[in-house]
Amino acid sequence: MRSEAFSVTAIRHGYCGMDSRIAAIARYTLLEALRTRLTALVLITLLVVLAASFFVETISITEGARFQAGFYAAGMRIASVFIMAVTVLVSITREFNDKGLDVLLALDLPRSHYVLGKLAGFLALAVLIAAAAALPLAWLAPAPAALQWSISLAAELAIVVAFALFCVITLNQLTPAASFVLGFYVLSRALTAIRLMSAHPLSGADTYSHQAIQVMVDALALVVPALDRWTRTEWLVNQQAAWSDLLELTGLSALYVALLAAATMFDFYRKNF
């Protein structure tokens, strides 16, 4: 509630323009996250995963450095997604329960400004978490590869943030929203493998049921990002990604974030508070 009180004061005193209101909400959303135990949680998680990666290096018979970098990258990727998703879900749920949102909307604040401000604040937090996660990789992997991994992780976290915000505002409850976010992320990571299995079955390729499943999977691939293409560990241990591919992934992330933000605002305007 302290962050909400600060943002209410900021909107009342001088933050009258559209951009300023969005910036004020984004700023205090970021401050709220940084002033809680999130910073300590990220630091502890980073140290634990890094220590585990050193253990993996010691038990590796050959190529210990590659195993260490790969283990750390995979572990921090999952941990960063989990931390970022939970932060969004808990923050918005708390505002619903504490009636902080009602106070903001009572100030004649457009709902689109609230959504965009919250999204901007969480996206800034995602960039900070991605940068912190990539710091040890500056010593464990080539610097260009670590930079590519960090940029891709930030883009991946942006998609997770936008989807988590959409789920929690739409469902208004923490548990169903968390379940949808978890299902979405698991499906996104496994989508390429699912498409390969549906395209090349061991048997029954000519049956109508398999053809229907294949059409459904291909249609699902049009709207769900294949997140296994993002933040790939092989960039650190084998070969760096092409910058053109990274630019494509960043553009796709921006597109998905924009679509999810539009869907969130559409549903938010339909709700009665």
- Cα dihedral sign, 191-246-133-39: negative
Percentage of the chain modeled with pLDDT above 70: 85
| Band of residue 205 on the pLDDT scale cut at 50, 70, 90 | low
**HEC string for 107-142:** CCCCHHHHHHHHHHHHHHHHHHHHHHHHCCHHHHCC
Kindly report, residue by residue over 9-60, the tens digit of the pLDDT. Answer: 544 444 445 568 888 889 888 888 888 888 999 999 999 999 998 888 887 7
Whole-prediction pTM:
0.87
Task: Of 136, 156, 155, 160, give the one whose Cα is nearest residue 146.
Answer: 136
d(CA 87, CA 81): 10
Q: For 224-237, what is the mean pLDDT?
A: 89
Q: What is the SS3 assignment for 271?
A: coil
Would you state the pLDDT for residue 95? 85
Confidence (pLDDT) at 139: 87
The two three-digit tokens of residue 153, written as one number: 């992780």
For residue range 159-193, list pLDDT tens digits in order: 999 999 999 999 888 999 999 999 999 999 988 88
Residue 202 is classified by DSSP as S
Confidence of residue 5 (pLDDT cuts 50, 70, 90): very low
Buried residues in 116-132 as b, exposed as e (16+ CB within 10 A): bbbbbbbbebbbbbbeb
Longest CA–CA span in the chain (Å) reads 68
Cα–Cα distance for residue pair 133/251, rounded to 1 Å:
22
Contacts of 59 (CB under 8 A, 6+ apart): none
Task: Break the chain into its structural domains and give their ranges.
Answer: 3-269
Taking only the tens place, the pLDDT of each residue in 116-163 is: 999 999 999 999 999 999 999 988 888 899 999 999 999 999 999 999
pLDDT at 227 over 50: yes
Task: Copy the structure tokens of residue 15.
Answer: 């933050």
What confidence score (pLDDT) does residue 213 get?
Answer: 76
